[in-house]
Structure 1
């Protein structure tokens, strides 16, 4: 439970921080000092999270084999899959809270191994829930050497010295911009650090020091499901160029309810998670509709779900899913991981 409360603080603290800093500057210093006293590492006990309700781990199927190729030899003939990953907070890195031999820690390790040993992408493009650029434009980080952003607050000190050694790709960043602009989508390259929506999950997956470049891309700063699906469709040609596209968010992400969950999973968590399953796994081509069309329609109709605003009070952690749905085209789908923890769902999907 402690890890979830820390993750809740990580998400709401920036709002509190900037409100006090700019609206109440006279009390800003005192407030921060008080919070530091409350949240300093010595006051935080090492408590293992209790996973409430039944945990089901759905492991990656091995019925399909991938012809291996080194990053240097990948050509347009090998089409990359697309992934949706649930990423969590920095405490995901704790082997005490999320051990590597069970639960989401084990599944992320399995996914990372599959990426490096079987998929073998030339480059990776990650769309993060923690970067919303402009209402009508997306941004792509163009740096080859990108610093990390520790965009969380009140966690033990060890998380602020965590590393994620990787390289970027100015070439991929500019190619993405050109591709999007050719389809009349506003996009530009910028210099920005890598937020925890990217580096925490990929580090847990064992992708630190990977041989392939990793580039981060933003969402729009709006909640349009349709626009994010169209963004994914525009990115789809990258799959033919050896680029693995990853959407990093959470299948269910209600931090408000973490405080009131009382060690049980709220009913909206499995119900909304099943709606995602149905879209990804059960969509079938219909008359005058491809699988891609049916998935896109289902993803758009999530706006009408009675569970939507309980599962996602804000949509930024869901919208990477819509980008993935757009980029997936008619690809076959499988669920890589399933884990309910209080008011969170860690479901992950691959469409290949």
Structure 2
């Protein structure tokens, strides 16, 4: 018997389906798969809670898969492989079986097409560490049925926010929506020497620089002090923050935050609790903050 729920989710006293929480996870470097951290502990906690609540599946937008032009894609490979990761022993991931949810993938394609997106399935896409790293940490005993949504390489925040809002209704059917990117993620500003010399990304021989601390605080303020449509507006404004380009040399790792704001920023989400539950600094200036909006 499947441990994933196939029955309709229980409704509240007001006969309104409950909303699953939405996670914005900063997946960090590949070493976050190979080494223990408070972030990894929190990912496992979130996975345990999701299984306890009988999720039907996971729907994820990562940071390492994007499409050119105006298109977006949904992974439909029935037997995806895994892109190898550096500095992590293959035993940490090679035997973990991925479980693509092809039925939900098609449903996401239909929903996005109805919303006006140029969307197709991708039957050859192999999964990348930004998504399967999180799945292994959340669900070490077995991958739940999972759907992966690509980004669009124009990195329009409103485009990606609308993807989240388009799929938001699946939260009422007990799907768990996750954006996996980065709160502060600028590879050009990281200090790589400890990783290259000692394979230690957690070494902090000096404090993070002011631009990293400033933007990290701005992200926390937006996610924990706003809700509903205000969250969506505040999240897009972060891309105009004076420290944004220092914190994100490229926009790819911040689109997951837009996806989350879309999925958790409806009028129905006003007042939803949001927490910064764990945080791991790597390579001096990369801040892996782990946020949850809503609750079970």
Greater percentage in strand: 2
Work out whether residues 180 and 256 of structure 2, in 8 Å CA contact, stay in contact via their aligned partners in 1: yes
Q: What CA distance in whole angstroms lies between the structure 2 residues aligned with 1:171 and 1:79?
A: 21
Q: 1:266-281 maps to which residues of 2 (within 5 A)? A: 266-281=209-224
Question: C-alpha displacement at 1:306, in angstroms?
Answer: 0.9
Q: TM-score scaled to structure 1, two decimals?
A: 0.70
Structure 1 residues without counterparts, runs of 5 or longer: 1-68, 284-290
Which residue number in structure 2 is paired with residue 292 of structure 1? 228
Distance 1:161 1:332 in 2: 33
Change (3 A) 1:281 1:220: same
1:166 corresponds in structure 2 to: 98
Provide the residue aligned with 1:334 in structure 2. Answer: 275
Question: For residues 1-352 of structure 1, what are the structure 2 equivalents within 5 Å?
Answer: 71-75=5-9, 77-94=17-34, 98-99=35-36, 102-118=37-53, 120-150=54-84, 152-153=85-86, 155=87, 158=90, 162-191=94-123, 192-210=125-143, 212-259=144-191, 263-283=206-226, 291-328=227-264, 329=266, 330=269, 331-341=272-282, 342-352=284-294
1:262, distance to aligned residue in structure 2 (A): 5.5
Q: Secondary structure at the match of 1:317?
A: helix
Mapped to 2, the partners of 1:208 and 1:86 lie a distance apart of 22
Higher alpha-carbon Rg: 1
Contact 1:92 1:204 in 2 (8 A): no
Q: Secondary structure of 1:349's match?
A: strand
Contact residue 93 and residue 136 of structure 2 kept, 8 A: no
SS of structure 2 residue aligned to 1:187: strand
Question: Alignment RMSD, CA only?
Answer: 2.2
TM-score when normalising by structure 2 = 0.83
Could you list the per-position Cα deviations for residues 261-283 of structure 1 after superposition, in whole angstroms to 9, with x for gaps in the alignment?
A: 86321112221111111211111
Deviation at 1:170, TM superposition (A): 1.3
Q: How many residues align?
A: 268
